Amino acid sequence: LPSTWLNDEVINFWFKMLQERCDGIENGPSCYFSNSFFWNTLSGGPEKENKKYNYEGVKRWTTRAKVDIFSKDFMLFPMNIGNMHW
């Protein structure tokens, strides 16, 4: 339906697909695609008006995934600011 918002799980699936495609490109750029909750958690979310960074809240996500974001060429994450959706 054209007037329906995209669900966060659709975005997560799409980013997972993009990650797999990026990983499969020989000599391509090194990318990390996070899930749809990354920015909301890192920025403190709506209750903090996205103005207070919470590094500890997302630190374990990349640690658990064994991803060194500083070694990547690109880091992409979806942002849903002000509940305007993707």
**Residue 28: which of 18, 38, 37 has the closest Cα?**
18
What does the block give as tokens for 1? 């339906």
For residue 44, the model assigns a pLDDT of 80
For residue 13, the model assigns a pLDDT of 95
What torsion, rounded to 10 degrees, do the Cα atoms 58, 60, 62, 66 define? 180
Q: What is the DSSP letter of 3?
A: T
What does the block give as tokens for 33? 């695609």
pLDDT at 3 exceeding the cut of 90: no
Span 27-45, average pLDDT: 89
Q: What is the DSSP letter of 73?
A: S
